[in-house]
A and B are shown apart, each in its own frame.
Chain A
Amino acid sequence: MPDPTSPAARVPFGETERTTAIAFALMVALFAVAPVVVYPVFLMNVLCMALFACAFNLLIGFGGLLSFGHAMFLGMAGYVCAHAAKVWGLPPEAAIALGTAASALLGLVTGLLAIRSQGIYFAMITLALAQMVYFFCLQAPFTHGEDGIQSVPRGKLFAVLDLNNIWVLYYVVLAIFVGAFLLIYRTVHSPFGQVLKAIRENEPRAISLGYDADRYKLLAFVLSAALSGLAGATKAIVFQLASLTDVHWTMSGEVVLMTLLGGMGTIFGPVAGALVIVGLQNYLAPLGQWVTVITGAIFVVCVLAFRRGIVGELAAWWAKRRA
């Protein structure tokens, strides 16, 4: 649902491959050196949330579907991953894979229910389904309710890389993020991504061209759910914790905000949005409840005056300067 009046919002950071490649290299380089100056645990949180926002953006920015319940995928994967690592003693790579798979499955079930509707209906239904998942997580014994699953062992990745070393952990998380980011980029620019965009623009026309719109949408939904799950599972390993926060509807709201603020339908927008929002929550934490107020205010300002988001505005400014 990017603003149809602005061409720039549709174009992922200049359409040219070269600009995108340069921007991508810049982003990876920045994240690679950042932990020298910035606290690595904070950066890992940013990376996980950025991945989550990118996965969400795949659905809204390119599929035109606003899910208001994406927290269920983030949280569920976190729980499954934490449980697998702590109780079943699986190595981190298996635990993360299992968490991701669980979210993909959840995405398939909820997707089958939700994609039958569109627009606001779709948003409400995903919200309600997520609320169901939330109550399930609150009551199921294996999640330990309010306490969450604590002291999750980080273990050794592929029995070699010791994740208890913060530097090793950081670059593993960065690698996961970059891998998933490239996957999303490929998907968007593949024929599958093109069909998805066609459905977003005009669903009846896409159907009349012979595309099974529901199947494409479902596939996009499951992919987005799985990648959100990857983010949640990684987060559980980083913080050694899986908790209700990640399944609560406020988290679903936050990911919408990150994407909206960064720029819906842009490749780099969600990353920028995640960086700003996580930074805000981190550095303004002493302000207590005012953080909620500020978050709300950003929402309002974005919707009223800043619909293209940070990256969208930048791209528009760039395009204008070159023209």
Chain B
Amino acid sequence: MTEIFGVPTQALFGQLLIGLINGAFYAMLSLGLAVIFGLLNIINFTHGAQYMMGAFCAWFLLQYLGVGYWWALLIAPLAVGAIGVAIERTMLARLYKLDHLYGLLLTFGLALIIQGVFTNYFGSSGLPYQLPQEFAGAYNLSFMFLPKYRAWVIAVSLVVCLGTWYVIERTKLGSYLRAATENAALVQAFGINVPRMITLTYGFGVGLAAFAGVMAAPIYQVNPQMGANLIIVVFAVVVIGGMGSILGSIITGFGLGVIEGLTKVFYPEASNTVIFIIMAIVLLIKPSGLFGRAR
């Protein structure tokens, strides 16, 4: 068997694929952050908590209403997105005139509240969410054993990410959005309801986080802390990609997933620091991130 640095090539392919799957989650989460940041100029610290709420929402639906995975994929993002809309209308909207850092602080506080409440009611060891029947089993690729659900994760997140990119960069609605980022007053003057657009954008970004949460529920343990640690890594992904850059967040998300996957093979001890190290290097060379415009 051929080997690269002492690791069989076939095993390496497997690890690359796994990295790509993890990257799919980074991409979906950082995409939501990028969309929100692009228009609202707010770093949404609540993103991790909203991802967790998505997973919990799927669990509630199954446990109490007998509603399965497929409906949860639709209902959870809508429900959590609606909560996001309420948060934006009642709280975030009051902060737009102030320094953007206040938005960061507010969402940080909200994240603490949500996580605290969920831990109080559901403990911390987590709740089981069984894999939907359709995905039982796995594909036997010659170099690895790929669970069907993981293949699904990759496919769906690619569709979601590219779809979002298309809407924002290539449609009329998207052009309004981008225009509002540049000059809200002017877009408003053209008769477009900018505050409503901002509200819906926030709702959409949050819904994306919840969607990722539902996707995660069958493979990761559903617990109140699940988003807390992930979100800081995703922040780093966003910083590397260039804040507010849609395509940047998608590419960096997948790319860093792969790099992290490789680190897990060659030097696992560094697998949770590697992203931050890359971030430091990128910032030294290009402070606005790989795909970011200098602000």
Binding site for B on A (CB under 8 A): 1, 3-4, 66, 68, 113, 116-117, 119-121, 123-125, 127-129, 131-132, 135-136, 139, 249, 253, 256, 260, 288-293, 295-300, 302-304, 307
Residues of A within 8 A of B167 (CB): none
Residues of A within 8 A of B243 (CB): 120-121, 124
How far is B295's CA from A117's CA once the two chains are assembled, in angstroms?
Answer: 10
Q: Which of B239, B272, B277 contacts A125 (CB 8 A)?
A: B239
Residues of B within 8 A of A292 (CB): 112-113, 115-116, 119
| A300/B91 in contact, CB under 8 A | yes
B235 interface contact, C-beta 8 A: yes
Q: Which of B95, B108, B110, B239 contacts A124 (CB 8 A)?
A: B239
B276 interface contact, C-beta 8 A: yes
| A129/B116 in contact, CB under 8 A | no
How far is B96's CA from A252's CA once the two chains are assembled, in angstroms?
Answer: 24
List 12 A–B pairs whose Cβ atoms lie within 8 Å, in order of A's numbering.
A66-B101, A116-B283, A128-B232, A131-B232, A253-B108, A290-B116, A292-B112, A296-B112, A296-B116, A299-B105, A299-B108, A302-B109
B75 interface contact, C-beta 8 A: no
B120 interface contact, C-beta 8 A: yes
B98 interface contact, C-beta 8 A: yes
| B273/A136 in contact, CB under 8 A | yes
Which interface residue of B41, B104, B117, B277 has the most chain A CB atoms within 10 A? B104
Which 4 pairs of residues, A with B, have the shortest CB-CB distance? Answer: A299-B109, A296-B112, A292-B116, A296-B113
Count of residues in B whose CB is under 8 Å from the partner chain: 41
| B106/A116 in contact, CB under 8 A | no
B257-295 vs A, Cβ < 8 Å mask (1 yes, 0 no): 000000000000100110011011001100100000000
* A299 touching B276 in the complex, CB below 8 Å, given contacts A120-B100, A123-B101, A289-B120: no
| A129/B280 in contact, CB under 8 A | yes
Chain A min CB distance to B230 (Å): 12
B139 interface contact, C-beta 8 A: no
How far is B289's CA from A117's CA once the two chains are assembled, in angstroms?
Answer: 11
Interface residues of B in 191-235 (CB under 8 A from A): 232, 235
Which interface residue of B112, B114, B115 has the most chain A CB atoms within 10 A? B112
Closest Cβ neighbor of A256 among chain B residues? B105
B102 interface contact, C-beta 8 A: yes
Closest Cβ neighbor of A135 among chain B residues? B273
Which interface residue of B100, B238, B276 has the most chain A CB atoms within 10 A? B276
Closest Cβ neighbor of A303 among chain B residues? B106
| B119/A289 in contact, CB under 8 A | yes
B170 interface contact, C-beta 8 A: no
Q: Which of A113, A290, A298, A307 contacts B284 (CB 8 A)?
A: A113
How far is B287's CA from A124's CA once the two chains are assembled, in angstroms?
Answer: 12
| A113/B106 in contact, CB under 8 A | no
B251 interface contact, C-beta 8 A: no
Closest Cβ neighbor of B117 among chain A residues? A293
How far is B116's CA from A127's CA once the two chains are assembled, in angstroms?
Answer: 21
B3 interface contact, C-beta 8 A: no
| A249/B112 in contact, CB under 8 A | no
B161 interface contact, C-beta 8 A: no
Residues of A within 8 A of B76 (CB): none
B21-51 vs A, Cβ < 8 Å mask (1 yes, 0 no): 0000000000000000000010100000000
How far is B276's CA from A121's CA once the two chains are assembled, in angstroms?
Answer: 14
How far is B283's CA from A289's CA once the two chains are assembled, in angstroms?
Answer: 37
Q: Which of B99, B102, B111 contacts A296 (CB 8 A)?
A: B111
Residues of B within 8 A of A302 (CB): 105, 109
How far is B269's CA from A126's CA once the two chains are assembled, in angstroms?
Answer: 22
| B43/A120 in contact, CB under 8 A | yes
Residues of B within 8 A of A128 (CB): 232, 235-236, 239, 276, 279-280
